[in-house]
Amino acid sequence: MPEPPDAAGAEEHAAFFEVEHELGVLFRRAHALSAHMGHRTHPELEPGAYGLLVRIDRAAPVRPSDLAAYLGVGKATISRQVKMLDELGLVDRKPDPLDRRAHLLVLTEEGRQRLGRARGARRQRLHMLLAAWPEEDVRLLARMLRRFNALTETMTTATRRV
């Protein structure tokens, strides 16, 4: 039978539970916000495709296989979503000069404009939420999120190799 944790161990354990709970709330709200931002970008955009558009914008020109690896999804999922983005006029496929069998994705002008408007609205909303915080706290939140995201990127990369 395992021994009960000491007081310090129990406090640490409780801290991890608290972080896990708060991350769960954050992820659920972020998922809902992403769905809202996707709809705001284009009424026919699937909820998960907003993040894909953001990544294409940041990484363009980018291969669909690189998107699949970055997002940790299958090539079939990316293929289906890219097809939808193409049909909505939000992305263009260009031949890959290094491999004529492959193609690279870039946002269309309409895709850039729609994404830009949605991002502007998202930034405004975030600014309204954090406007009452001291700037030092906002910068601390940004640093901690950057640190956490770097940690999860390292973990995700290591998981892909296994």
pLDDT tens column, 75-105: 999 999 999 999 999 999 999 888 888 899 9
Give the global pTM: 0.75
Extract the tokens encoding 46: 């699937």
All structural domains of the chain, each given as residue ranges with its CATH number in brackets, are 14-114 (1.10.10.10)
φ/ψ of residue 44, rounded to 5: -100, 5
Question: Is pLDDT at 2 greater than 90 in this prediction?
Answer: no
Task: Check whether 1 has a pLDDT greater than 80.
Answer: no
3-class DSSP state of 162: coil
- Mean pLDDT over the full length of the chain: 88
Instruction: Confirm if 102 and 96 have CB atoms less than 8 A apart.
Output: yes
Distance of CA 144 to the CA centre of its chain: 17
Q: Per-residue pLDDT tens for 39-62?
A: 888 888 887 788 899 999 999 999
56 — phi, psi (to 5°)? -60, -45
Q: Residue 152: its pLDDT value, please?
A: 85
